[in-house]
Amino acid sequence: MKRDKKRRIAAKGRAVNPEIRDHLRGLLDEAALRRDRLLEYLHRIQDAHGHISDEHIVALADLLKLASTEVYEVATFYHHFDVVKDAQAKPPALTVRVCDSMTCQMFGAESLITSLEAVTDQSVRIQRVPCVGRCETAPVAVVGQRPVPHADQNSVMGVVESNQTTDPVASTVINLGAYQSADGYALLSACYAGEHSAEEIMAALDDAGLRGLGGAGFPAGRKWRIVGGYSGPRLLAVNIDEGEPGTFKDRYYLERDPHRFIEGMLIACWVVGIDTAYVYIRDEYPACLAVLRDCFAEVQALYPGKLPRIELRRGAGSYICGEESAMIESIEGKRGMPRLRPPYVAEVGLFGKPTLEHNMETLFWVRDIVEKGAHWFSSYGRHDRKGLRSFSVSGRVKTPGVHLAPAGITLNELIDEYCGGMLEGHRLYGYFPGGASGGILPAALADVPLDFDTLQAHDCFIGSAAIIVFSDQDSARSLALNAMRFFAHESCGKCTPCRVGTSKAVELMAQSRWDKATLTDLSQVMMDASICGLGQAAPNPMLCVFKYFNEEVV
């Protein structure tokens, strides 16, 4: 058949609506749009409209010179973006999110969800969500952006009816003036003045034994040396995406002393020779996000022309972005999927450059360790361990919260000395020593030191030190199933062992009798073949039930 050369080939895909495109250009309000800021642009659309339509995606793709599918696959990857076909399908004006993770489950999240669904109309959406980082006040609901601690039907509906749905900044935040009055930024100024050397700072971290406090526990000083050994430009990625159920220590410190973290971050940049710092904070902490924006502006005014460029990025509801390479993918404006390694982030990280990746709390301690001396930090500790640990404690204790305690303290000591004991009428039955992924230990092992490298013999790990305490009124089996449902929900889907394995495990664990042989085989495949720590650690709670609470599943 002879081809008609005059015939025009129609462009594939949906046509761009020029009015929507012009609207987005004004909404985004940036002279030069950047591909790596895609998540921020999606947030602005979501914030302005309460949803992201197909027309928004097509117009945004056109502005960024991307295929619509590239924008769509990112927008639909993250839980906090409501992607709809058209305006008729948009969600209700108000969303009430109720956490249904382990601690909130223990304190009645299911009954709260049921009662709220019964009393709300179509103008309010009730949505069950994973951990929102406020486990010490379980059960927790979030109305719009406003957290409701110890939530019940009346307190939640009171906030709904008041229409006060923004997250207020905590009254405990130490401002710049107060921080400076206690010698804040004196160390950073001394570094800039040449009164300290980079080697001196790293030696102090080595001598103190400071390790990464986000879970991996890699020695901080050694990491700084490794990244500093690669040719620049070098970058910093700060991980404040603490999505591990039971963890809330980063929020606790940001609500109190954000400048101490910022000073530690800037000292790290000075020591390692870092040009740009990216700070990635979870979207569940809007008040902390606002505090950091203000604090960064204050510090930049304090040191004009001296600081590295600082970019504040917010996540969009994805647990996997707590994994360092997945976080880096997200900062680059992509789906948060873990990278295959090697190469490692220290050598080939953000935008292909050597990258120092750190948890927020690790940087929080830098100033104190250097000023007070390495011995100050290392002198703490029990049971042959050294240092301090910030334990996020929730569950059946009288005083849950963040408790700064000696490394190596045992659970029994932590409960008795820091948490006021168990709740009345509750007897210790077991605990998660490292959040959902750290496994479960029985009360009989409550005298094991809580620190890095002490729990592996019991098939558990400390992780970010998220301690979830449960009692004889709770079920280890039920909590393990809750954890597996969380992992199935949060799996990025990149690798089959994790994507299929977590979903299949949920199905098997929901049965009245657990098939030990099948679940054990499935766990081995997940641990051996999953790309990242999510799939590798997901079986831990279930395997611990077989090992320590077997009477619940036989």
- The fraction of the chain above a pLDDT of 70, given in percent, is 97
Please tell me whether residues 343 and 251 are part of one structural domain.
yes
- pLDDT higher than 80, residue 13: no
Please tell me whether residues 411 and 544 are part of one structural domain.
no
CATH number at residue 118: 3.40.30.10
Please tell me whether residues 481 and 497 are part of one structural domain.
yes
Please tell me whether residues 187 and 324 are part of one structural domain.
yes
Range of the domain at 486: 476-552
Please tell me whether residues 98 and 85 are part of one structural domain.
no
- pLDDT higher than 60, residue 505: yes
Per-residue pLDDT tens over the stretch 158-200: 999 999 999 999 999 999 999 999 999 999 999 999 999 999 9
Please tell me whether residues 60 and 105 are part of one structural domain.
no
392 within a domain of the structure (yes/no): yes
Yes or no: say if 236 and 283 are a contact pair by the CB < 8 Å rule: no
Per-residue pLDDT tens over the stretch 435-491: 999 999 999 999 999 999 999 999 999 999 999 999 999 999 999 999 999 999 999
Where among 420, 450, 471 does a domain terminate?
A: 471
Please tell me whether residues 35 and 148 are part of one structural domain.
no
Please tell me whether residues 345 and 228 are part of one structural domain.
yes
303 within a domain of the structure (yes/no): yes
- The fraction of the chain above a pLDDT of 90, given in percent, is 95
Where among 112, 136, 162 does a domain terminate?
A: 162
Backbone angles phi, psi at 53, to 5 degrees: -90, 170
Q: What is the mean pLDDT of the chain?
A: 95
Residue 28: pLDDT band (50, 70, 90) is: very high
CATH number at residue 192: 3.40.50.11540
72 within a domain of the structure (yes/no): yes
CATH number at residue 456: 3.10.20.600
pLDDT at 12: 60
Per-residue pLDDT tens over the stretch 377-430: 999 999 999 999 999 999 999 999 999 999 999 999 999 999 999 999 999 999
| Close Cβ partners of 376 (under 8 Å, ≥ 6 residues apart) | 208, 368, 369
Give the three-state DSSP class for 192.
Answer: helix
Please tell me whether residues 298 and 339 are part of one structural domain.
yes
Please tell me whether residues 235 and 181 are part of one structural domain.
yes
- pLDDT higher than 50, residue 294: yes
The burial of 357, by beta-carbon neighbours within 10 Å (0-12 exposed, 13-18 middle, 19 or more buried), is given as buried
Residue 9: pLDDT band (50, 70, 90) is: very low
Please tell me whether residues 270 and 360 are part of one structural domain.
yes
Per-residue pLDDT tens over the stretch 248-272: 999 999 999 999 999 999 999 999 9
197 within a domain of the structure (yes/no): yes
Q: Which string of DSSP letters, residue by residue, matches 438-463?
A: G--EEGGGTTS--STTSSGGGT---T
Residue 246 amino acid letter: G
6 within a domain of the structure (yes/no): no
- pLDDT higher than 90, residue 87: no
CATH number at residue 52: 1.10.10.1590
What is the residue whose two structure tokens read 């990280």? 349
pLDDT at 14: 80
pLDDT at 6: 46
The burial of 11, by beta-carbon neighbours within 10 Å (0-12 exposed, 13-18 middle, 19 or more buried), is given as exposed
459 within a domain of the structure (yes/no): yes
Please tell me whether residues 455 and 497 are part of one structural domain.
no
Please count the structural domains in the chain.
5
What pairing do the DSSP bridges indicate for beta strands 274-281 and 466-471? unpaired
282 within a domain of the structure (yes/no): yes
